[in-house]
Amino acid sequence: MTWRWADMGIHTGIDSQDFSILYKNEEECAAAIIAMKWPGGFICPRCAHTHCSRLTTRRIPLFECGNCRHQTSPLIGTIFEGTHLPLLKWFQALELFLLPDGISAMRLSQVIRVTYKTAWLMLHKIRHAMGEFDARELLSGVVKVNNDLYGYDPSRCQLSHPHASVVVAGCAVTESGEPERVKIHLVPPQNRTYGERASRHDLAEFITGNVDIHASEVQLFPLAFRLYAPLRKVVREAWQSLKCTYVALGRKHLQAYLNEYTGRRRLRQSGGERTMRQELLHMCAAIPTISYRQLTTRHRHQIFPLPVAAA
């Protein structure tokens, strides 16, 4: 089965080969995940032995360790673990996730022919992998940090807005001063009055959790009327992009959508569409899955992700 987005009226804005050309069936999708999970060859998760037998009686092959006889699936420890969907549908979702403004769960459900709930869960699992992966990589070099708002139009000359969310945004900048790596984190609203921005404590917490201690320079912009303009522009672009695709987002999952935007922005800077796709697949193969229950019962104001040790 070969699927092309042009045949479905979807224009990706990508000229080179996409997942639909690279991976045409379940076997090729499984092989791609195996290559990402064990790039240097099989390693037993129980005893670290490197020799195995491949059992191909199931849809997804099992690998049996030649030493301890432990059997493992290449999907274990990835966002695909436990899925009952064909991997081809997952790879379709990955391709559509990389559209310039992403894709809504409703649209994804229509395109790949799954239920809305399934599409919603697939997209959130991809966002989860992207967010967890992003939490492992700290901002370094010259870093700028803004005390900003997400969700309002600065052209109206407002310093606050009743529906805007307080965020701390940080970026590593290039030699020309342009934002390169960007992080946008929501600030919990507890004990915050209308119009009040992030506190010094909020800014310090962001720096502690997201900036390398060896960064050559960290510059704070705590005042609403004196923000780092290129970084402020990225926050506005994030709002416009997410608003275009998702229309209205509740606060409970807003951080995941911000991670999606900044993660996709970074992937598009990574140096080519094929590299972008391979990096996203690597994230999905390196991060354990998250369940529907975990997603829907996550604390409403659990915003800052916990640091994760490098794999």
Q: Which residue has the higher pLDDT, 20 or 292?
A: 292
Gap between the Cα atoms of 241 and 261, Å rounded: 8
Question: Looking at the predicted structure, is the pLDDT value of residue 7 above 70?
Answer: no
Quote the pLDDT of residue 62: 94
Tokens of 62: 């099992």
Quote the pLDDT of residue 310: 33
Q: What are phi and psi of 267, to 5 degrees?
A: -60, -35
Q: What are phi and psi of 240, to 5 degrees?
A: -65, -40
Residue 260: closest CA among 139, 146, 93, 115: 93
Gap between the Cα atoms of 72 and 64, Å rounded: 7
Gap between the Cα atoms of 133 and 96, Å rounded: 20
Average pLDDT, the chain: 86
Question: End-to-end distance of the chain based on CA atoms, in angstroms?
Answer: 35
Per the CB < 8 A criterion, the answer to whether 136 and 310 are in contact is: yes
Query: What's the pLDDT tens digit per position in 54-107?
Result: 998 888 899 999 999 999 999 999 999 999 999 999 999 999 999 999 999 999
Quote the pLDDT of residue 98: 93
Say which residues have a Cβ less than 8 Å from residue 213's Cβ, sequence separation at least 6: none
Query: What's the pLDDT tens digit per position in 112-167?
Result: 999 999 999 999 999 999 999 999 999 999 999 999 999 876 665 555 565 789 99
10 Å CB burial of residue 56 (0-12, 13-18, 19+) is exposed
Most confident of 16-25, 224-233, 294-303: 224-233
Per the CB < 8 A criterion, the answer to whether 20 and 3 are in contact is: yes
Quote the pLDDT of residue 87: 96
Query: What's the pLDDT tens digit per position in 14-49?
Result: 433 456 667 889 999 999 999 999 999 999 999 999
Quote the pLDDT of residue 275: 87
Answer whether 0.95 is exceeded by the pTM: no
Q: Where are the domains of the chain?
A: 5-38+74-135, 142-252
Q: Label residue 274 by pLDDT band (50, 70, 90).
A: confident
Q: Label residue 300 by pLDDT band (50, 70, 90).
A: very low
Quote the pLDDT of residue 9: 47
Quote the pLDDT of residue 107: 95
Residue with tokens 């996709």: 264
Question: Looking at the predicted structure, is the pLDDT value of residue 244 above 60?
Answer: yes
10 Å CB burial of residue 252 (0-12, 13-18, 19+) is middle
What is the percentage of the chain residues whose pLDDT exceeds 90?
70
Tokens of 114: 């799954």
Q: Which residue has the higher pLDDT, 302 or 278?
A: 278
Q: Which residue has the higher pLDDT, 248 or 210?
A: 210
What is the percentage of the chain residues whose pLDDT exceeds 70?
84
Quote the pLDDT of residue 56: 84
Quote the pLDDT of residue 215: 95
